[in-house]
Structure formats: C-alpha cells, structure tokens
Amino acid sequence: MIQNALKTSFIFLAFLFAFSCTSKIENTNYLVEELEAIQKEFAPDKRVALLAIDVEKIENTYVLKGESNLPDAIEAFKNNLNKANISFIDSIQLLPSSALNNTILGLVTISVANLRSNPKHSAELATQATLGTPVKIYKNDGSWSLIQTPDKYLSWVDNAGITPMTPNDFENWKARPKIIYTNIFGSTYSAPDQKSQVVSDIVAGGILTLLGEESNFYKAEYPDGRIAYINKTEAEVYKAWLAETNPSEENLVATSKQLMGLPYLWGGTSTKGVDCSGYTKTIYFLNGIILPRDASQQIHTGELIDESEDFKNLRPGDLLFFGKKATDTSAERVIHVGMWIGNNEFIHSSGQVRVSSVDKNAANFDAYNLNRYLRTKRVVNSTTGAFINLSKTPVFTN
C-alpha cells in the first residue's frame, strides 16, 4: 500500500513556520535548514515518526510549538539553536501526553482494529491490528487515541478497540502464557462448547492470555478481561507455535494460498481483507516475521535478488516490487508488491488474492505488472531492514 498526501497529512506535517507580521527574517533560513536536517536525520519516514514543529517569532524570541514523539530530535534542534545564539522558548509537547496518566501502552482487544489516518470513522483506513497487538499510546482526541504499532506505524484507533495499560501492567501481561489463533477466522465461546454463546469473532494471528484447558478447549482472557474458550484445533500455545515457526519456502507458500480469493481492502492487513502490502505482511506474520507496513517500506528489507527481470534466481517467499522507475525528473515510486511462489508465478492482492505469471505464454500472464516491475528482495535469513523476527525479538512475551 502506498502513502498518499491525504493519508499522511493527519500528523506527518511538513515543517510549518508561522511568523508574525512584525517578524524579521534574518534567522529564517537557518531555522528552515536546521529543521530539514533534523527531519532527515531523525524522521526520514513520516509514517513512523512524528515531528511536527511550528515556529513563531515574537519580537526577538522564537517560540517553538508543536509536538513530537522524538525527544532526541527535539533536543538536537534546541542544542543547535543554542549554539547559534538564537533565543527561543520551548513550548513543544513531547509525547506520550502527560494527560494519559502513564497509561501509555495498550493492547488491541477486538478481533481486528481498524486504524485510521484521522480520529474519525470516516477517515481513510491506514492499517489494521489484530487482537493482542501491543501498541504505544501517545495522546487522546475525544474517543480516539493516536497509537504506534510494533512496526512503528502511526495511526488513530477508536478507544473501544484497545485496552490502555501502564508499563507495569503491560509487563505483567507479557509474562503470562499466551495462545495464538491459527485458523483463518472463527469464533470464541462463552463455554467449552461450540454451541454456547459466541464471545467474539477472531482471525489468524489473534493473541490471548492462556488461563487453562477444559476438555478440547483453551480457556483464555481478552485484554479487557472477557473470558472465552477456543477450540484447541484452531489455536496453539504461543511459545510452542513460535518454537515451531519456520518461514521456509514451503510454509510461506502454503500460508499465502490459504488466503486465496481474499478480497482487496485498502488499509487491510488481516484475514478480513488485505491490500497488496497488507497481504505480504499477513503471510510473513503468520510465519513469525513482522514486515514494515507499506510496499515502499518493505522494499528496503531483505537482500537484492534481481532488478532486471531475470527471474531464474528467485525462490518462493521472495518479494517482488512494482511501480514507476526513477527518471531524470521524478523519483522512483513503489506501488505494488507480491510474493514469488515458483513456476514463474507470484501471488498478490489485486482486486482479490490471485496468482499471476511472468511467463508470456501462461494463461495468467500479468503484462501490466511485468511492465512496471522494479526488483525482487529476499527477507528470509536476511538481517537487512526494519522487520521483526518474533523468535529473536519478544513482542508478545518476555
């Protein structure tokens, strides 16, 4: 999924300078250059870093306003102003907001939380987060919260979709045993009986606290305290699942084909619907790896395998990227991503999850995407890029 101006404008503001009509501009160029340098160093990707600063000059003093979740960036900016002997008043709000009273962490408490570009239901769907996903909470706006998911993506969530926690409460949650839901989708129940009242729907990758076992069911607890039962054939103890997880070629392809025909959903990253990068993200997550959110971020992960349409070196699980190549007057644009499955084919979300071929003689030949092919990257066994290997980085447990 590719970011557009509407999607990023909710918090990822270009640096704005509001000078009063009586202001002198002798230091304006310096301030602009310093802010641009700070942004380039600390917040090159505005989807994962909040650095929104306003500067207003009142007489001979600059007033720094705005907000950020990057204290190091703000400190570096202020140090540079001090070195330049520029007088300023610091009114920048560092997030998380003190109004949260230390409930600065949280867990998704519904099957799939729709995370939006602005704090309203009519705003664009930016991404999704499944049950049990830990989030950082930065501030509230009415019944909405600005949050950051483990892949560092910033977005807004309806407060009904998360359970806020203090850091101590969160650490206690991490220390408790978990289960992970492994079916594509299903239900949880109020008793160890599939004929009992449904507690909620649930999708692949949902995480719950394990309380015990009864008959053929796991007894589990939601982040908001609800108790539910999950059929053992549809879930696994998280640590056992993680120990067995292997993002092999065979497993990645098998997972990808379980989602065949899933509808395309802009912003979707769950088995309720996926966009192109949400699909590759879901495949990898169900095999123990959290990829960055968007195709234009995923392209910076893994090792380069091909960029000349020489597909003979590709292996199943490799990620193929498509878009517009750079020209003398325009930068490269990454617009689409799919996953190689072998036999000259790749699987991707385009209208629905489907299989396409790069073979001109195949019935499912995809001339459109071949004509905008950029390159292929291999994430498995790589250490390059901002992805999370759950077997090495604890996200849901200690």
Degrees, nearest 5: CA angle 93-95-99: 85
CA dihedral (260, 154, 387, 395) in degrees, to 10, reads -90
Catalytic residue status for 348: yes
Q: Give the active site residue among 21, 121, 276, 300.
A: 276
Token pair for 145: 């919260």
Q: DSSP class of residue 2?
A: -
Closest alpha carbon to 315 in 305, 324, 307 = 305
Amino acid identity at 316: P
Q: Give the active site residue among 21, 121, 300, 336.
A: 336
CB 331 within 8 A of CB 378: no
Q: Give the active site residue among 21, 121, 300, 348.
A: 348
CB under 8 Å to 375, separation ≥6 — which residues?
Answer: 299, 304, 305, 306, 307, 320, 321
CA 332 – CA 324 distance, rounded (Å): 6
CA 221 – CA 208 distance, rounded (Å): 6
CB under 8 Å to 291, separation ≥6 — which residues?
Answer: 151, 277, 280, 281, 284, 285, 298, 301, 379, 387
CB under 8 Å to 101, separation ≥6 — which residues?
Answer: none
Catalytic residue status for 336: yes
Catalytic residue status for 300: no
CB 298 within 8 A of CB 276: no
CA 217 – CA 32 distance, rounded (Å): 60
Active site residues: 276, 336, 348
